């Protein structure tokens, strides 16, 4: 083939419109006559509601309706538990509007619908809610005590369930241990903070009985299924569209946030389009968060640093509810051994209710926690045994010849066994070591210390189970008039560049130009089979499905073109938007091929003249559409992965710490990443760099803070320190490409990767930098200037 599309750093199809300000984000969509919703939210973490008085709000000019739990009919019930699990013994989900009780600051109690958002917010302030506050326990470890106040009266110890995963014989491994390393680590609560907050608009058409919902969700098909179920409308009467969505990072996979059911309800009742555009404070108090876990980890090793066993017990803050099941904690538990053989391990964990907004996946989904725990332990093991931090890892890696590497008895978040499919971890670490020039750095570090400057080297290695099932589909069709290639799948895009990488996959097979491939997703009206965008699965699941459909379309094009140009199929090649007879300038444009394969009655243009019933070229015996054939060039296929495919990578950083100001400066940040074959290296780099930036936030800046009563203290961008360009290092990103044998394209997921090891890398580097001060090992993320100050002070006094 003369033009490669797969693997090329092609500029994105979507960019020009977004750059001109012509994107269509939800609040950009003009819905004439639309009403606007705003929510009254709990000001108290845990309370009984004595009374709600909405009369003043209802009588305000411009208010159309005020909803409370008393006038939402059948919706006044706990929302679905999306992912049930047998050991989730005490699942609790939220009601759309609070009835009798509130469980966190920010919980929705009433929804006002008014002529504009200003009036709706005025009315919210006129709603009088009388609370009877109850005691709360905000500390994760104290919340499981027998005498801790219960959030849900029927959930003892605030514990949603007790879980255990095990592989091998952990007790036997510990009995043989020559050295045991113990660490206790803690990650803090954070939030995805997409720059477009959550948003939803709904329009009910009474005449046709159709409900159209524009939802900034990652899961249009799942939302459609849920709405059809909740409102008892046929699924084909519900259309859910996610147009341009301004970032998701997992927060928008959670469904249903209360507005996602209440806005459609209001639209149906009031006969008007209704919009709810979440504001930033609401995104901080009412939208899903993630990250707090406390792990107590022990690793059993031989004297030469080989880890033979691991025990981990952790607490997982799930917030006041657990609608997304144990997904985050489950991924943590099954990722705990990272890239290391560790044949025997046992993980026990408890998701714990705390009076804060629910926890559901945020980029990384439990992997940053597992990575921090095991990698902190590996650093400590190296220190305790007097080994180099690189060397201790090398000794424990799964070797490149040991794949597939199953972990018996471990079921991953896709319900399938954990089997690492391919990789070369040692090579990645060696690349990292060379790139950072460890020996050179040690000399530089020693020289800097002489001058009273403190440099440290940190590293972290991670694996990421990506491309989770169950499946996705791909549909491809060539338009007979324009010859443009239409591609559909059931996913949604929040900036990952699906429209370009899927176009590359389709173009590679069909010979279309990438810019002539139009990808339409995020619309249940365009394709109605599939699941959602999450778990770094788009390229793996939809990418392969589209590839498989495109292979079928290619065969159709080749066959038709050979007929049209009267040559053998072997002589046809596809490129530059046409089928060519090899070695000649004879060609049939894709539009002509698509037209010729579609028997016509009417002629609209030149190509269609030759496809009408009486045109000489289309004359043949039998029915115009031969038996068993379908018109035009069109194909659909589905890809269902046998199990997750495991990407991996290694990061290192050189960080200088100022022990006076307790600030840090990242001198170098290097990432070696492997996601199998890359469809578009530019987009892969963009995903990795964006992931690193989010990891940097979690490593040093971002934490959702609450006071002892459960009131958020920094629910805004002034106080929640999201990194600007001045805080994120200019990371050097390098790749290796170890294809997976699991799917035809050989691709693994990349969306979450960059985020996973960053907190570990910062901790490892700062610890290394401050060794001369004799600080205690770093065990918490984010690591703030405050924390550095505390550690230095502690070291001085002890």
Q: How far is the CB of 495 from another protein (least distance, A)?
A: 3
Q: How far is the CB of 538 from another protein (least distance, A)?
A: 13
Tokens of 19: 């750059």
Choice between 245 and 557, CB closer to another protein: 245
Q: How far is the CB of 113 from another protein (least distance, A)?
A: 10
Choice between 280 and 790, CB closer to another protein: 280
The angle that helices 327-335 and 367-385 make with each other, rounded to 10 degrees, is: 30
Q: How far is the CB of 516 from another protein (least distance, A)?
A: 18
Distance CA 19, CA 463 (A): 35
Q: How far is the CB of 39 from another protein (least distance, A)?
A: 16
Q: How far is the CB of 20 from another protein (least distance, A)?
A: 5
Choice between 350 and 363, CB closer to another protein: 363
Backbone angles phi, psi at 345, to 5 degrees: -155, 155
Distance CA 144, CA 352 (A): 7
Tokens of 654: 């050189």
Choice between 51 and 207, CB closer to another protein: 207
Choice between 424 and 493, CB closer to another protein: 493
Q: How far is the CB of 761 from another protein (least distance, A)?
A: 14
Which residues have a Cβ under 8 Å from the Cβ of 221 and sit 6 or more positions away?
240, 490, 524, 528, 529, 530, 531, 532
Q: How far is the CB of 288 from another protein (least distance, A)?
A: 15
Distance CA 552, CA 550 (A): 5
Choice between 63 and 79, CB closer to another protein: 63
C-beta of residue 325 within 8 angstroms of C-beta of residue 331:
no
C-beta of residue 702 within 8 angstroms of C-beta of residue 32:
no
Choice between 64 and 357, CB closer to another protein: 64
Choice between 607 and 697, CB closer to another protein: 697
Indicate the pairing of strand 634-639 with strand 472-478.
antiparallel
Choice between 94 and 542, CB closer to another protein: 542
Among residues 231, 233, 158, 203, the alpha carbon closest in space to that of 29 is found at 203
Q: How far is the CB of 238 from another protein (least distance, A)?
A: 12
C-beta of residue 124 within 8 angstroms of C-beta of residue 279:
no
Distance CA 153, CA 194 (A): 34
Q: How far is CA 396 from CA 240, 304, 400, 426, 612, in A?
A: 48, 11, 12, 10, 68
Choice between 81 and 270, CB closer to another protein: 270
Tokens 């996705």, located at residue: 472
CA 12 to chain centre: 21
Number of Cβ within 10 Å of residue 240's Cβ equals: 29
Distance CA 274, CA 262 (A): 10
Choice between 380 and 492, CB closer to another protein: 492
Q: How far is CA 686 from CA 282, 394, 501, 732, 754, in A?
A: 29, 29, 13, 12, 10
C-beta of residue 92 within 8 angstroms of C-beta of residue 101:
no
Q: How far is the CB of 362 from another protein (least distance, A)?
A: 12
C-beta of residue 465 within 8 angstroms of C-beta of residue 419:
no
Q: How far is the CB of 273 from another protein (least distance, A)?
A: 12
Q: How far is the CB of 720 from another protein (least distance, A)?
A: 9
Q: How far is the CB of 61 from another protein (least distance, A)?
A: 4
C-beta of residue 193 within 8 angstroms of C-beta of residue 228:
no
Q: How far is the CB of 645 from another protein (least distance, A)?
A: 23
Distance CA 318, CA 326 (A): 8
Choice between 590 and 683, CB closer to another protein: 683
Among residues 776, 769, 788, the alpha carbon closest in space to that of 700 is found at 788
Distance CA 471, CA 454 (A): 50
Q: How far is the CB of 228 from another protein (least distance, A)?
A: 12
Q: How far is the CB of 242 from another protein (least distance, A)?
A: 12
Task: Give DSSP secondary structure letters for 747-785.
Answer: B---TTGGGTTHHHHHHHHHHHHTGGGTPPPP-EES--H
Choice between 226 and 599, CB closer to another protein: 226
Choice between 24 and 612, CB closer to another protein: 24
Choice between 434 and 730, CB closer to another protein: 730
Which residues have a Cβ under 8 Å from the Cβ of 67 and sit 6 or more positions away?
97, 110, 111, 112, 113, 262, 265, 266
Q: In what order do the strands lie in the sheet with 517-520?
A: 517-520, 485-488, 472-478, 634-639
Which residues have a Cβ under 8 Å from the Cβ of 444 and sit 6 or more positions away?
455
Choice between 606 and 705, CB closer to another protein: 705
Tokens of 648: 């991996």
């Amino acid at each position: 083939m003369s033009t490669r599309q797969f693997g090329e750093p092609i500029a994105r199809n979507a960019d020009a419109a977004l750059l001109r300000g012509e994107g269509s984000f939800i609040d950009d969509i003009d819905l004439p006559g639309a009403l606007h919703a705003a929510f009254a939210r709990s000001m108290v973490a845990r309370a009984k509601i004595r009374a709600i008085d909405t009369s003043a709000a209802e009588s305000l000019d411009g208010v159309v309706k005020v909803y409370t739990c008393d006038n939402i009919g059948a919706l006044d019930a706990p929302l679905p538990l999306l992912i049930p699990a047998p050991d989730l013994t005490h699942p609790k989900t939220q009601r759309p509007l609070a009835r009798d009780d509130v469980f966190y600051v920010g919980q929705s109690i009433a929804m006002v619908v008014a002529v504009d958002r200003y009036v709706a917010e005025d009315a919210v302030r006129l709603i009088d809610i009388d609370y009877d506050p109850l005691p709360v326990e905000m500390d994760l470890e104290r919340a499981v005590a027998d005498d801790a106040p219960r959030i849900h009266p029927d959930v003892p110890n605030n514990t949603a369930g007790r879980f255990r995963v095990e592989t091998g014989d952990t007790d036997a491994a510990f009995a043989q241990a020559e050295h045991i390393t113990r660490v206790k680590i803690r990650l803090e609560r954070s939030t995805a903070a997409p720059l477009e907050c959550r948003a939803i608009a709904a329009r009910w058409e009474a005449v046709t009985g159709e409900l159209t919902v524009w939802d900034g969700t990652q899961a249009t098909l799942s939302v459609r299924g849920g709405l059809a179920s909740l409102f008892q409308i046929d699924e084909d009467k519900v259309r859910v569209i996610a147009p341009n969505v301004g970032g998701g990072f997992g927060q928008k996979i959670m469904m249903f946030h209360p507005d996602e059911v209440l806005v459609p309800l209001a639209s149906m009742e009031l006969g008007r389009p209704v919009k709810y555009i979440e504001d930033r404070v609401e995104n901080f108090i009412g939208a899903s968060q993630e990250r707090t876990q406390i792990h107590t980890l022990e690793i059993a090793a031989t004297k030469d640093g080989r880890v033979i066993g691991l025990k981990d017990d952790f607490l997982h803050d799930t917030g006041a509810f657990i609608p997304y099941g144990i997904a985050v904690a489950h991924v943590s538990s099954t990722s705990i051994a990272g890239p290391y053989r560790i044949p025997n391990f046992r993980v026990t964990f408890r998701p714990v209710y705390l009076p804060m907004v629910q926890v559901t996946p945020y980029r990384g989904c439990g992997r940053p926690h597992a990575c921090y725990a095991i990698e902190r332990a590996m650093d400590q093991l190296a220190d305790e045994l007097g080994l180099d931090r690189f060397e201790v890892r090398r000794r424990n890696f799964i070797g490149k010849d040991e794949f597939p590497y199953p972990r018996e008895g471990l079921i991953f978040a896709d319900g399938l066994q954990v089997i690492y499919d391919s990789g070369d971890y040692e090579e990645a670490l060696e690349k990292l070591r060379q790139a950072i020039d460890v020996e050179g750095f040690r000399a530089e570090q020693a020289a800097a210390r002489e001058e009273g400057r403190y440099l440290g080297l940190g590293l972290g290695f991670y694996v990421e189970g990506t491309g989770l099932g169950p499946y996705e589909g791909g549909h491809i069709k060539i338009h007979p008039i324009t010859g443009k290639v239409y591609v559909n799948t059931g996913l949604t895009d929040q900036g990952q560049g699906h429209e370009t990488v899927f176009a590359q996959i389709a173009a590679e097979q069909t010979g279309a130009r990438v810019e002539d491939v139009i990808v339409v997703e995020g619309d249940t009206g365009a394709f109605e089979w599939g699941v959602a965008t999450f778990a770094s699965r788009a390229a793996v699941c939809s990418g392969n499905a589209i590839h498989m459909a495109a292979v079928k379309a290619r065969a159709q094009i080749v066959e038709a073109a050979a007929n049209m140009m009267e040559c053998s199929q072997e002589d046809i090649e596809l490129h530059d938007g046409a089928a060519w007879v090899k070695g000649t300038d004879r060609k049939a444009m894709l539009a002509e091929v698509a037209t010729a394969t579609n028997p016509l009655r009417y002629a609209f243009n030149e190509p269609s003249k030759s496809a009408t019933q009486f045109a000489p070229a289309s004359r043949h015996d039998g029915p115009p559409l031969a038996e068993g054939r379908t018109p035009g060039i069109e194909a659909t296929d589905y890809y269902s992965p046998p199990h997750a495919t495991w990407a991996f990578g290694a990061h290192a950083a050189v960080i200088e710490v100022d022990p006076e100001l307790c600030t840090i400066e990242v001198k170098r940040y290097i990432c070696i990443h492997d996601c199998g074959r890359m469809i578009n290296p530019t987009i892969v780099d963009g995903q990795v760099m964006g992931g690193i930036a989010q990891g940097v936030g979690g490593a040093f800046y971002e934490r959702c803070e609450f006071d002892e009563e459960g009131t958020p203290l920094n629910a805004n961008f002034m106080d929640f320190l999201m990194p600007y360009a001045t805080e994120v290092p200019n990371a050097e990103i390098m790749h290796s490409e170890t294809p997976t044998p699991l799917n035809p394209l050989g691709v693994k997921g990349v969306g979450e990767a960059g985020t996973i090891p960053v907190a570990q890398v910062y901790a490892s580097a700062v610890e290394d930098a401050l060794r001369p001060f004799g600080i205690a090992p770093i065990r918490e993320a984010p690591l703030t200037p405050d924390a550095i100050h505390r550690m230095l002070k502690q070291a001085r006094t002890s």
